Amino acid sequence: MVVKMSAEAVGNTSQELQGEEESRRNQVLRLLSFRNISALYIFVFLFVLFAFWVPDTFLVFTTWKAMIDSQAITAMVAVALVIPVSAGAFDLAIGTEVGLGGILVAWLLSSQGLPIPVAIVLTILAGALIGLGSGLLITKARITTFIATLGVSSILAAMISWVSGGQQILNLGRNFQELAIGTIGPFTYPVYILLIIAAFVWYVLECTQVGRYVYSTGGNPDAARLAGVNTNAVIIGSLMACGAISAAGGILLSASLGTGDPTSGPAYLLPAFSAVFLGSTQFRSGRFNVWGTVVAVIVLATGVKGLQLAGAPVWIPELFNGAALLLAVGLANYERSGARLKVFREKFFGRMRAGRAPA
C-alpha cells in the first residue's frame, strides 16, 4: 500500500500546483463576475436609466439623502432577518415584531410616562422575548419555522391592536422624535445606527465562532449537531437577536413618524425578505450575508424611487419588491442548478472521453 501511495503522490504534484493557480484565478473571476455582484451591475443600470429618464429629480442630492434616511429602518430590519434565516429559521413575524416595537415604545412613553431610555430598553427586551417564544416553539414544540413564526405574527398583530386600541398613539415628545430626525453630517441618526448594527452583525456572523455555528445550523442541522453545535441554542439565539433588532427598528419608526402607528410595521415583511434573498446572491455565492442585504435594500429603493419620480403609480413599490423577491430566489436556484449541471457535464463527458481513449 505504501508503494501505491507514493506513486499517487508523484502524480499529484503538478495537479496541486495547477489547483492552487486555478483557485487564485478563479477567486478574482468569481469576485468580479455578474453572478457575484449582480446587484451592483443592476444598480449601475438603474442609475444610468433614471439619470437619463428623470435627470432633474433623480440626480439631486436631496433625493438621495431622503431615500437613504427613509431606507435606514428597512435595512435594519433586513439585517435583523439575516441572522435567523442564516440559521435556517425563516422569521415571518418580523413585520409585526417591528410593529409591536413601535407601538410598545409609544405606549410606554405616552400612557405609562416612562423616561425615554427605560422605554427603549424595555421595548428591545420585549423584542428579544418574542424571539425567545418563536425559538422555543421551533426547537421544543418542534413546529416548523414557517408555521411557528406565522402563528406568532398573528398573535403579535392582535397585541398591537390591543395595546393601541387600533388608534395611533400621539404625543411622543420632541426629544423622542429627535432620535430619528437628528442629524450628524448629511444623514439622520438611523443611518448611523444601521451602520453600527450591520457592522456588528457582520462581525459576529463572518468572523466569530458563533457565526460559524449559525451558518452550519442553517446548512445542515444534523451535521452541525454531530459536530458539537448546540443547534437549538443557535436557533433560539438568532431569533432573539432578530426580535431585539426589529424592535429597535420599530422604535426608530415611531420616532420618525412622531406617533405609534399600528399599521406601518407589517409592511416591512416583504421588503426585508426581498432584500435578504437578493442579498444572498451577492458576494458570498448563495450564503445569506449582511452587506449583500444592505446593498440589496439600496438597489431596490433606487428602482422604486426612480419609478416614482418617473410618475409611476403608488402600487409600484409592492410590485417591485415582490418581483425582486421572486427574481432573487429564482436566480439563486438557477445558479445552483447551473453549477450542478456543470459538474454533471464534466463528469459525463470527461468519462466518455476517458473511456474511449484506449480503444
Partner 1 sequence: MTIVNSNSDVDRIPLIRASGITKTFPGTRALSDVSLSVGSGEIVAVVGQNGSGKSTFVKILAGIYEMDSGTLEVRGADGEMLSSKQAQDELHFIHQDLGLVSDLSAVENLALGHQAGARALAPRQGRLERRRARELVRGFGCDFDVTTPISKLSPPERTIVAIVRALEGWTRPDNVLVLDEPTAALHGDEVDMLFTAVRRVAENGAGVLFISHRLDEVLGLADRVVAFRDGEVVADERIAGVDEAALVQMIVGREVSEADLDLVPIGGEPILSVRGLSGGRLKSLDLDLRPGEVVGVTGLIGSGREHLAPLVFGSIPRSGEVRLNGEVLPGNRPAYSIRTGVAYVPADRRADGAVMEMSLRENLTLPMLSPLRRGFGRLSRKAELAEARHWIASTEIRPPDPARQLDKFSGGNQQKVVLAKCLRTKPRVLLLDEPTQGVDVGAKAAIYELIANAANAGCAVLVCSSDVKEVRLLSSRVLVLRDGELVAELSKGEASESRVFGASAGVQVG
Position among 6, 8, 141, 357 found at the interface with partner 1 (CB under 8 A): 8
Distant-in-sequence, close-in-space partners of 105: CB < 8 Å, separation ≥ 6: 119, 120, 123, 250, 251, 254, 260
Which residues, 6 or more positions from 219, have their beta carbon under 8 angstroms from its beta carbon? 88
In the complex, the smallest distance separating the C-beta of residue 278 from partner 1, rounded to whole angstroms, is: 18
Q: What's the min distance (Å) between Cβ of 249 and partner 1?
A: 25
φ/ψ (deg, to 5) at 184: -125, 125
* Residue 318 CB partners (closer than 8 Å, separation 6+): 270
Q: Quick one: 9 or 129, whose CB is closer to partner 1?
A: 9
Does 224 engage in binding with partner 1 (CB under 8 A)?
yes
Supply angle C-alpha 284, 271, 231, rounded to 5.
Answer: 55
**Can residue 230 be called a binding residue for partner 1 (CB under 8 A)?**
yes
Of 307-326, which residues contact partner 1 (CB under 8 A)? none
3-class DSSP assignment, residue 169 = strand
Residue placing its CB nearer to partner 1 in the complex, 188 or 216: 216
**Would you give the binding string for partner 1 spanning residues 171-210, x where CB under 8 A is met?**
--------------------------------xx--xxxx
C-alpha cell at 139: 426547537
Spatial CA neighbour of 243 closest among 100, 139, 114: 100
Establish if 286 lies at the interface with partner 1 (CB under 8 A).
yes
- Alpha carbon distance, N-terminus to C-terminus of the chain: 30
Secondary structure class of 113 (helix, strand, coil):
coil
Nearer to partner 1, 22 or 178 (CB): 22
Buried b / exposed e along 208-243 (16+ C-beta atoms within 10 A)? eeebebbbbbbeebeebeeeebebbebbbbbbbbbb
Number of residues that bind partner 1 (CB under 8 A): 41
Q: Which is nearer to partner 1, 98 or 224 (CB)?
A: 224
227 binds partner 1 (CB under 8 A): yes
Quick note: the x/- pattern for partner 1 over 10-49, rule CB under 8 A, is --x--xx--xx-xx---x----------------------
Q: Is 9 in the site for partner 1 (CB under 8 A)?
A: yes
341 binds partner 1 (CB under 8 A): no
For partner 1, give the closer residue by CB, 15 or 171.
15
C-alpha cell at 75: 435595512
The single residue among 67, 114, 287, 332 that binds partner 1, judged by CB under 8 A, is: 287
Q: Is 60 in the site for partner 1 (CB under 8 A)?
A: no
Q: Which of 272, 255, 271, 281 is nearest to 79 (CA)?
A: 272
Q: Please name which of 314, 282, 304 lies closest in space to residue 295, comparing C-alpha atoms.
A: 282
Query: Minimal distance in Å, beta carbon 16 to partner 1?
Result: 5
What is the torsional sign of CA 239, 244, 246, 250? positive
- Distance (Å, whole) CA 148 – CA 136: 9
Length of the chain, in residues: 359
Is 358 a binding residue for partner 1 by CB under 8 A? The answer is: no
Q: Which residues contact 178 (CB under 8 A, 6 or more apart)?
A: 255
Site map 82..111 versus partner 1, x via CB under 8 A? ------------------------------
Residue 1: CB minimum distance to partner 1, A: 6
**Which residues are 184's β-sheet partners?**
187
* Residue 207 Cβ vs partner 1, minimum distance, rounded to whole Å: 5
Where on the chain is the footprint of partner 1 (CB under 8 A)? 1, 4-5, 8-9, 12, 15-16, 19-20, 22-23, 27, 203-204, 207-210, 212, 215-216, 219-220, 222-230, 285-287, 339, 343, 347, 351, 355
